[in-house]
Amino acid sequence: MKRKHLLTSSLLLIAAALMFAGTTPLKAQRGGAAAKPLLTVFNPAIESKMVDRLPLSPRLDTLEGKTLYMVDINWGGPEAAYSVFEEIAAWFAQNMPGVKTVIRRKAGMYSQDDPALWKEIAQNGNAALIGISG
């Protein structure tokens, strides 16, 4: 708990220092008249409540006879992870030929949703590797 308070305090001090770094005195900015300083501070605390968490899918006993989706989320560009997923698929083909691998590239940026792809995986897949691998 102390670390959280120290981090919050440190962030606020850094923000305040950056705001005043290299500025001219307020008296000079307002034609010589003394004025109250203006300060904008961003609160790093989370104000909204956390979202409801969904439980993870149950672990499969085996991948044999299953379909494994590997999803490139487009972090780092179109070629960042794809070749790694191709290597993983080649390993499965050689070492576990009973596992069907499907490589997909998520539509849009990594932060955008792709409901069509999630639906495809839910209908046709048994497991998925989603993320960065490059």
Q: Are 127 and 60 in contact (CB under 8 A)?
A: yes
> Which pLDDT score, from 0 to 100, does residue 18 have?
58
> Which pLDDT score, from 0 to 100, does residue 84 have?
87
- At residue 10 the predicted structure's pLDDT band, cuts being 50, 70 and 90, is low
Helix (H, G, I), strand (E, B) or coil at 113: coil
14: left (phi over 0), alpha (psi -120 to 50) or beta: alpha
Q: Are 63 and 127 in contact (CB under 8 A)?
A: yes
> Which pLDDT score, from 0 to 100, does residue 122 have?
95
Q: Are 63 and 97 in contact (CB under 8 A)?
A: no
Backbone angles phi, psi at 67, to 5 degrees: -110, 125
- At residue 38 the predicted structure's pLDDT band, cuts being 50, 70 and 90, is confident
Q: Which amino acid is at 22?
A: G
Q: Are 101 and 71 in contact (CB under 8 A)?
A: no
Instruction: Report the residue count for the chain.
Output: 134
- The arrangement of strands across the sheet holding 67-72 comes to 100-105, 67-72, 127-131
Q: What is the mean pLDDT of residues 89-116?
A: 92
| pLDDT for 86 beyond 60 | yes
- At residue 115 the predicted structure's pLDDT band, cuts being 50, 70 and 90, is very high
DSSP single-letter state for residue 108 = S
| Cβ-based neighbour number of residue 2 at 10 Å | 6
